[in-house]
Amino acid sequence: MNELLNKLSNCIEFGKINKAAPFPPQMKGEDGADEITRQALDEGVNAQDVLTEGLMPGMERVGVKFRENKVFVPQVLMSAKAMSTAMVHLKPYFDSGAAKQKGTFIIGTVLGDLHDIGKNLVAMMVEGNGYKVIDLGTDVDTEKYLNALNENPGAVVGLSALLTTTMANMERITKEIKAAAPNTLVAVGGAPVNEEFSKKIGADNYSSDPQAIVEFLNTKTA
């Protein structure tokens, strides 16, 4: 494999954003995701390969470490930040169709709930794993999800909730999305939610951590 892409994977895994970034200490002074992505593209590496062989393996490794309690939110956010820095260089290739993302994921915290930390983490991890993410923010009702679905047919919808009181809205929104767009896959997550609840309300997936939703998406789009 291309040595540069290998290095890029390491930058993503360890959250090395650019040369100036002090973190992680063991990579101090070295090029980061920003410089290496630019360099790879300048040297003629295919944009699709930069994504699937450079960025995504790094994000996947950090996702697995997160699931295994080896790293926590701060480290994952550093990886996501390194990832988004690299994505800036790839954007023109996505826009022109020269590189393709794996699919589209629409996410939002459900109506009545303003908590966004968990939702943001999931959005970053999913994006880092090669998906286009439409983040609808917090306090989102059915109509907004459906509008986003209209613009992105075939997208998977993710509903997040932190409050026990908004679980009822999660149920209603899931049912309304399923009624309006029966083939849409709906995934749910958040502190009060569990597998049993997910099944009860007719959702297609419950994920207890961001890596799990990535794996679910991979099974549906691969």
Burial 53-69 (b: 16+ CB within 10 A, else e): bbbbbbbbbbbebbbee
Please return the burial class of 115, using the count of CB atoms within 10 Å of its CB with bins 0-12, 13-18 and 19+: middle
Q: What angle do CA 205, 210, 107 make, to 5 degrees?
A: 65
**Two structure tokens written together for 134:** 């439409």
Of 5 and 33, which has the nearer Cβ to another protein? 33
Smallest gap, in angstroms, from Cβ of residue 92 to another protein?
Answer: 26
Of 153 and 192, which has the nearer Cβ to another protein? 192
Binding residues for another protein, rule: CB under 8 A, are 15, 21-24, 69, 71-75, 77-78, 81, 112, 114-115, 117, 120, 163-165, 167, 191-192, 194, 196
Of 49 and 209, which has the nearer Cβ to another protein? 209
Of 104 and 211, which has the nearer Cβ to another protein? 211
Smallest gap, in angstroms, from Cβ of residue 126 to another protein?
Answer: 16
Helix (H, G, I), strand (E, B) or coil at 173: helix
Smallest gap, in angstroms, from Cβ of residue 155 to another protein?
Answer: 25
The DSSP secondary-structure symbol of 102 reads: S
